[in-house]
Amino acid sequence: MSRISTIFATLKTQHKAALIPFITAGDPDPQLTVPILHALAASGADIIEMGVPFSDPMADGPTIQRASERALRHGVGLKDVLAMVAEFRTTNNTTPIVLMGYANPIERMGYAAFATQAAAAGVDGVLTVDIPPEECTGVADALAAHNIDMIFLLSPTTPESRISVVAQRASGFVYYVSLKGVTGSANLDLVEVASHIPVIRERCGLPVGVGFGIRDGATAHSIAQFADAVVIGSRIVQEIENSPREQVINNLSAFVRSIRAAMDAQ
């Protein structure tokens, strides 16, 4: 079993949902990324999603766009991100790492080379926003050859027929975008979100993670009652953006612990 599958299987026996925080690699600077990864894992993160900085994002809201801009100013690229994962793996071989990004950097490296280097670094999953399942054969096959999960997004507007298409190519888990809009958007309707999860599960046998618009413990707790994972991105990145550099680790750790405690509360 992959690290991702192992985590979900373990949490299922404990009747818990996974907590998946998101950070952008290289934000606020490259020297802090690996310490942040370790702090997230120590504070209750079950899986960590790490954004590959990109200049022209489609799904990222202003907060994560600014994080990419900060990382890009430090010259952080895909090879640097893989090096960060490899450094993290020298002392943590259990917490899954999912890379989230866009097709261009991967295509520039080449699918086979990317999959080989990602596996060597210790990457567990890849989510590329702009590679749909209908066009993913090259990268999906390359990743599968190295036991790296290909993760896809589903949204409130995804028809049931397309959920089945995603199910044929996805592995690890599927990521349900809880609202129409970009990361960090507001107006999250928990009742509507909950109504979509059984439909997804009926057509896709993978765990379902829910993200976009989750900003506090109360919302995370509610989503943990019906989803297999809670993904928090913009609120985490906002904590990095608003914290003095010397306080980033402590502030992130405290926030993630508070979310984990809220998710586990009866």
Give the active site residue among 27, 49, 149, 228. Answer: 49
Cα separation of 142 and 165, whole Å? Answer: 19
Give the active site residue among 27, 46, 60, 239. Answer: 60
Concerning whether 27 is annotated as a catalytic residue, the answer is no
Cα separation of 70 and 72, whole Å? Answer: 6
Per-residue burial over 124-149, b = 16 or more CB atoms within 10 Å of its CB, e = otherwise: bbbbbbebebeebeebbebbeeeebb
Q: Which stretches within 14-136 are classed as H helix?
A: 30-42, 62-73, 78-89, 103-109, 111-121
Concerning whether 264 is annotated as a catalytic residue, the answer is no
- Count Cβ atoms within 10 A of the Cβ of residue 108 and give its class: 0-12 exposed, 13-18 middle, 19 or more buried: exposed
Q: Which residues are catalytic?
A: 49, 60
